[in-house]
Amino acid sequence: MDRIFSGVQPTGNLHLGNYLGAIRNFVRLQAESECVFCVVDLHAITVWQEPAELRNSTREVAAAFIAAGIDPQAQIIFNQSQVPAHAELAWIFNCVARLGWLNRMTQFKEKAGKQRENASAGLYVYPNLMAADILAYKATHVPVGEDQKQHLELARDIAQKFNHDYGVEFFPIIEPLIQGEGTRVMSLRDGSAKMSKSDPSDASRINLTDGPDDIAKKIRRARTDPEALPSEVEGLEGRPEAANLVTIYAALDDATTEAVLREVGGTQFSDFKGRLTELAVARLGPIGEEMQRLMAAPGEVDAILKHGAERASEIAEPILHEAKEIVGFLNVR
Is 306 marked active-site? no
Is 161 marked active-site? no
Distance CA 12, CA 24 (A): 18
**Burial letters 117-143, b for 16+ CB under 10 A, else e:** eebeeebbbbbbbbbbbbbbbbbbbbb
Candidate list 111, 138, 161, 324, residue with the active-site label: 111
Name 65's Cβ contacts closer than 8 Å, sequence gap at least 6: 8, 23, 26, 37, 39, 72, 77
204 makes contact with ligand AQP (CB under 6 A): no
Report the nearest approach of ligand AQP to the CB of residue 322 (Å): 28
127 makes contact with ligand AQP (CB under 6 A): no
The interface with ligand AQP within residues 15-44 (CB under 6 A) comprises: 17-18, 20-22
Candidate list 138, 161, 197, 324, residue with the active-site label: 197
Is 218 marked active-site? no
Question: SS3 for 193?
Answer: coil
Name 309's Cβ contacts closer than 8 Å, sequence gap at least 6: 78, 79, 82, 83
11 makes contact with ligand AQP (CB under 6 A): yes
70 makes contact with ligand AQP (CB under 6 A): no
Candidate list 149, 194, 217, 218, residue with the active-site label: 194
Query: What residue number has its CB nearest to ligand AQP?
Result: 21
H-assigned helices in 98-232: 99-103, 106-112, 121-135, 149-166, 212-221
The interface with ligand AQP within residues 182-201 (CB under 6 A) comprises: 182-185, 194-198
Q: What is the CA 14 to chain-centroid distance, rounded?
A: 10
144 makes contact with ligand AQP (CB under 6 A): yes
Evaluate whether 101 touches 130 at the Cβ level (below 8 Å).
no
- The single residue among 58, 105, 141, 145 that binds ligand AQP, judged by CB under 6 A, is 145
Catalytic residues: 111, 194, 197
Q: Which residues bind ligand AQP (CB under 6 A)?
A: 8-9, 11, 17-18, 20-22, 144-145, 147-148, 182-185, 194-198
